[in-house]
């Protein structure tokens, strides 16, 4: 093939490419396009991975009436707004932005594109075309805490945290309360890595915690690295966001699974049917948004207890944040018979008794 031939071929392909793009733009009226903005890579096996499973669930459920797009590893900052705007400008009807740091960017783009529907995960800003949604992961973390409280021998749990935002602090507290419900001597040591996804740092944090005596590793970061460290060092751990048993067949006790599938399919369908409305969803185990991975690597009685606690939370007879709850100084801050309100849960910035250190402020 000589040079001229290859140039011709290139020109032909470029033309064909243009046609493909044009064809993609020409869809029937009632078909919809759904876009996703992810903070991590879809291969993180945690948070972003589960959102992407939800995206695929939309494709599965609505078939060729829907087209989905995603942009992964979008930095929280000036880049997010451009990505969201590009999705809005390229004909997407519904856009999910799946990290707290995308909140202001999503709100700005939503204001500029009133005909496009937006859904922001974990935030608090809403408008006519901007919904928020989140899951009550703390329910699952309470169950994890119960298991850890039963199984720990050193009475030290190592907790790899991402950022000290209310959601993460809430998770640590729920874990602690779960552990204390069966074992009052448990303490939690927290290491912050200031990232949602950084396998190197996450793994180092887990190692440091194990060196300080932790024999249980919990995490609120998105990669399987801390769990893998637990597996290698012969201690136990919990999966994050998805069932990570293949990364730690001997170490994973259970995992708190995020299940966005039902919500995503319902919202996409609502847009298709023309009855989408802005709102705020905070679903727990009862809604199916939060589920537990199989209870593995533990004695039968502990697995049975964990299943009972899960059932109690699901049917509403147990609330992880029901009193009495003591703060770090030992003072009772939630009296017996009371539960922490959703509003206070959403702005939680204090530790319960048993968590070591201070919430970074």
Partner 1 sequence: MALRLERRAQHSQLMVTLSPVIAILLTLLSGIVIFALLGKDPFLSLYTFFVLPLTSLYGLTELGVKATPLILIGIGLSFGFRANVWNIGAEGQLTLGAIFGGGLGIAFYDSDSALLLPAMILAGVLGGMAWAAIPAWLKTRFNANEILTSLMLTYVAVLLLSYLVHGPWRDPDGYNFPESRMFSEAGTLPLLLEASRLHLGAVIALLVVVAAWVLLTKALIGFQLRVVGLAPAAARYVGFRQKRLIWFCLLFSGGLAGLAGLSEVAGPIGQLTPSISPGYGFTAIIVAFLGRLHPVGVLFAGLVMALTYIGGEAAQIEIGLPAAVTGLFQGVLLFFLLACDMLSTYRIRFVRQPAAGPVASVKPAAGEAAAQ
Residue 187 in tokens: 């303490």
State the minimum distance, in angstroms, from the CB of residue 99 to partner 1: 11
The separation between the first and the last C-alpha atoms of the chain, rounded to the nearest angstrom, is 66
Determine, following the binding rule CB under 8 A, whether residue 89 of this chain makes contact with partner 1. yes
Residues 157-196 contacting partner 1, CB under 8 A: 163-166, 194
- For partner 1, give the closer residue by CB, 2 or 317: 2
Interface mask toward partner 1 for 96-135; x: CB under 8 A: ----xx--x-------x-----------x-----------
Beta strands (DSSP E) in the chain are 32-37, 66-71, 94-97, 117-121, 130-135, 156-161, 187-192, 216-219, 236-241, 252-258, 280-283, 290-292, 325-326, 332-334
Rg (CA), the chain: 23
Please report the DSSP string for 171-183 in residue order.
HHHHHHHHHHTT-
DSSP state of 45: S
Cα 86–116–17 angle (5° rounding)?
Answer: 40
Spatial distance between the Cα atoms of 155 and 299, rounded to a whole number of angstroms: 18
The interface region with partner 1, picked from 8-16, 130-138, 260-268, 285-293 by CB under 8 A, is: 8-16
In the complex, minimum distance from the CB of residue 352 to partner 1, in angstroms, rounded to a whole number: 16
Q: Does 69 bind partner 1 (CB under 8 A)?
A: yes
Least Cβ distance, residue 186 to partner 1 (angstroms): 26
- Residues 173/139, Cβ–Cβ less than 8 Å: no
Angle at 313 between CA 312 and CA 318, to 5 degrees: 75
Decide if residue 86 touches partner 1 (CB under 8 A): yes
Q: What is the DSSP letter of 322?
A: B
Which residues, in sequence order, are bridge partners of residue 239?
Answer: 255
Q: Considering beta carbons, is residue 136 or 187 the nearer one to partner 1?
A: 136
Q: Is 8 in the site for partner 1 (CB under 8 A)?
A: no
Minimum separation from the CB atom of position 162 to partner 1 (A)? 11
Q: Which of 78, 317, 335, 337 binds partner 1 (CB under 8 A)?
A: 78
Is 281 strand, coil or helix? strand
Q: Which of 10, 56, 307, 332 binds partner 1 (CB under 8 A)?
A: 10
Window contacting partner 1 (CB under 8 A); options: 6-14, 206-214, 215-223, 264-272? 6-14
Is residue 56 a contact residue for partner 1 (CB under 8 A)?
no
Is 311 a binding residue for partner 1 by CB under 8 A? The answer is no
> Total binding residues for partner 1 by CB under 8 A?
45
Kindly tell me the burial class for residue 102, based on how many C-beta atoms sit within 10 Å of its own C-beta (0-12, 13-18, 19 or more).
buried
Q: Does 66 bind partner 1 (CB under 8 A)?
A: no
List residues binding partner 1 (CB under 8 A). Answer: 10, 13-14, 16-18, 20-21, 35, 41, 69-79, 81-83, 85-87, 89-90, 100-101, 104, 112, 124, 163-166, 194, 346-349, 360-361
């Amino acid at each position: 093939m000589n040079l001229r031939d290859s140039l011709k071929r290139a020109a032909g392909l470029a033309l064909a490419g243009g046609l493909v793009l044009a064809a993609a733009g020409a869809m029937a009226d009632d078909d919809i396009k759904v876009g996703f903005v992810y903070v991590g890579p879809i291969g993180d096996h945690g948070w972003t991975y589960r959102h992407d499973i939800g995206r695929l669930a939309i494709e599965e459920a609505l078939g060729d009436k829907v087209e989905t797009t995603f942009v992964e590893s979008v930095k929280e900052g000036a880049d997010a707004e451009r990505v969201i705007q590009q999705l809005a400008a390229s004909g997407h009807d519904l856009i999910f932005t799946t990290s707290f740091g995308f909140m202001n960017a999503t709100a700005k783009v939503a204001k500029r594109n009133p005909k496009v529907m937006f859904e922001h995960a974990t935030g608090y800003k809403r408008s006519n075309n901007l919904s928020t949604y989140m899951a009550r992961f703390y329910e699952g973390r309470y169950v994890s805490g119960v298991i850890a409280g039963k199984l720990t021998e050193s009475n030290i749990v190592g907790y790899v945290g991402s950022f000290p935002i209310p959601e993460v602090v809430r998770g640590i507290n729920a874990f602690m309360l779960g552990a204390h419900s069966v074992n009052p001597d448990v303490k939690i040591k927290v290491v912050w890595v200031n990232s949602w996804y950084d396998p190197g740092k996450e793994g180092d944090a887990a190692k440091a915690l194990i060196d300080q005596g932790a024999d249980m590793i919990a995490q609120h970061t998105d990669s399987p690295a801390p769990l893998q460290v637990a597996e290698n060092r012969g201690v136990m751990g919990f999966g994050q966001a998805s069932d990570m048993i293949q990364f730690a067949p001997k170490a994973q006790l259970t995992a708190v699974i995020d299940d966005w599938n039902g919500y995503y399919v319902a919202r996409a369908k609502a847009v298709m049917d023309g009855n989408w409305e802005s709102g705020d969803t905070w679903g727990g185990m009862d809604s199916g948004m939060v589920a537990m991975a199989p209870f593995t690597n533990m004695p039968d009685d502990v697995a049975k207890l964990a299943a009972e606690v899960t059932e109690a939370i699901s049917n509403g007879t147990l609330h992880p944040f029901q009193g009495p709850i003591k703060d770090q100084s030992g003072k009772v801050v939630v009296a017996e018979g009371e539960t922490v309100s959703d509003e206070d849960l959403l702005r939680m910035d204090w530790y319960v008794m048993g968590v070591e250190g201070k919430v970074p402020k």
